[in-house]
Amino acid sequence: MSTQYELSAADIESFRVNGFLECGFSFDDAEVEFLRELADDEFHRDSPARVLEKDGHTVRGVHGSHLVNDGFARLVRSLRTLRPAMAVLGGEVYVHQFKINAKRAMVGDVWPWHQDFIFWHHGDGMREARAINVAVLLDEATDINGPLLVLPGSHRIGMLDIDKRHSDDVWETHLSADLDYAIDAPLLSTLTADRDIVPIKGAAGKVFLFDPLLVHGSGANMSPIDRRIVLITYNRTDNVLEEVAEPRPEFLAARDCTPLVLLDNESEGGFAPARVC
Ligand code: SIN
Ligand code: MN
């Protein structure tokens, strides 16, 4: 197995301290173009895994594409996504959740401040926060197109004590701009008293990691430029979900915890099928 795309000890330490990390490697332009084409296919495929913006027609995001799309199935096994996840989590992993958020120009709505783990713990029965998010930017993320915003170090507080905002168990409310377990203004003031708000910016193709307890959110996209992002959540295979009364669909909270195996052809260049032969 190649040693490509390995995190350094300093990278892992920085991730532990800050709760997020900009990886020193990226997907190249051709790979980003390939991923954008795959994402477009997914945005156009009518499916319950697709969530719309409030306007009722713009796609906000699509889930579980790695289960139905060969290119995304390869992406979640690629050295640039799976390897850092395994390095940080220190063991075998599977994909708990996969989504592509579209954050379309002029329409893409906010993601209120939240921690991911609180949803997975209460909603899906994930016992511990032994999971990680790997983000791949499909567009350049800038100050003005609704970049992901994070509070560095906030993951070290642990899971915040927040009451559920909706009494129903309709999973769509977890994916809308009207998010359950959103952090309110007084709590945000407390959290930011000694922490900055940092935007995750970078060129298309950049790879970021962030902790499931890291407080994050994003503003509306007021710009004329899309801010598409792939978010892959890997969970350790020994942190499998407990039974819950109303499990969410497999495309939102996987119960198949078969360990993922790294693609071994990436050193030949890229994960796209067209490049393999
Ligand atoms: C999320 O928190 O899951 C999505 C945030 C974003 O796409 O800006
Ligand atoms: Mn989130």
Q: Domain ranges in the chain?
A: 10-236
pLDDT in tens, 66-104: 999 999 999 999 999 999 999 999 999 999 999 999 999
Q: What is the mean pLDDT of residues 229-244?
A: 97
Cα 275 to ligand 2 centroid, rounded to whole Å:
32
DSSP string, the chain: ---TTPPPHHHHHHHHHHSEEEEEEE--HHHHHHHHHHHHHHHHS--TTEEE-TTSSSEEEEE-GGGT-HHHHHHTTSTTTHHHHHHHHTS-EEEEEEEEE---TTTPPPEEEE-HHHHHHHHH---S--EEEEEEESS-B-SSS--EEE-TTGGGG-S-----S-SS--GGGGSSSS-TT---HHHHHHHHSS---EE--B-TTEEEEE-TTS-EEE----SSS---EEEEEEEETTSPPPP-SSPPPTTTS----PPP---S-GGGT-S-GGGT-
Cα 19 to ligand 2 centroid, rounded to whole Å:
13
Cα 103 to ligand 1 centroid, rounded to whole Å:
9
CA separation (Å) from 85 to 36, 71, 182?
A: 22, 19, 26
Domain spanning 10-236: which CATH class is it, in words? mainly beta
**How would residue 54 be classed by pLDDT, with cut points 50, 70 and 90?**
very high
Q: What is the mean pLDDT of residues 244-268?
A: 88
pLDDT in tens, 209-220: 999 999 999 999
Cα 268 to ligand 2 centroid, rounded to whole Å:
33
pLDDT at 31: 96
Q: Which residue has the higher pLDDT, 170 or 77?
A: 77
- Give the residue whose CA is nearest to atom 4 of ligand 1: 111
**How would residue 173 be classed by pLDDT, with cut points 50, 70 and 90?**
low
In terms of phi and psi (left: phi > 0; alpha: psi -120 to 50; beta: otherwise), the region of 153 is left
Q: What is the mean pLDDT of residues 157-174?
A: 77
Q: Best substitution site from 98, 100, 101 to test ligand 1's pocket, by max atoms within 8 Å of Cβ?
A: 101
CA separation (Å) from 228 to 59, 89, 142, 251?
A: 11, 26, 12, 19
Smallest-distance ligand from the CA of 177? 1
* Residue at token pair 């954050």: 103
Instruction: Show the ligand 1 pocket: residues with CB < 6 angstroms.
Output: 101, 103, 111, 148, 216, 218, 229, 231
Cα 43 to ligand 1 centroid, rounded to whole Å:
16
Q: Best substitution site from 132, 208, 216, 230 to test ligand 1's pocket, by max atoms within 8 Å of Cβ?
A: 216
Q: Which atom number of ligand 1 is nearest to the Cα of residue 218?
A: 8
Cα 274 to ligand 2 centroid, rounded to whole Å:
32
Smallest-distance ligand from the CA of 131? 2
pLDDT at 164: 81
Q: Which atom number of ligand 1 is nearest to the Cα of residue 216?
A: 2
pTM for the structure as a whole: 0.94
User: pLDDT above 90 covers what percent of the chain?
Assistant: 87
Q: Which atom number of ligand 1 is nearest to the Cα of residue 133?
A: 3
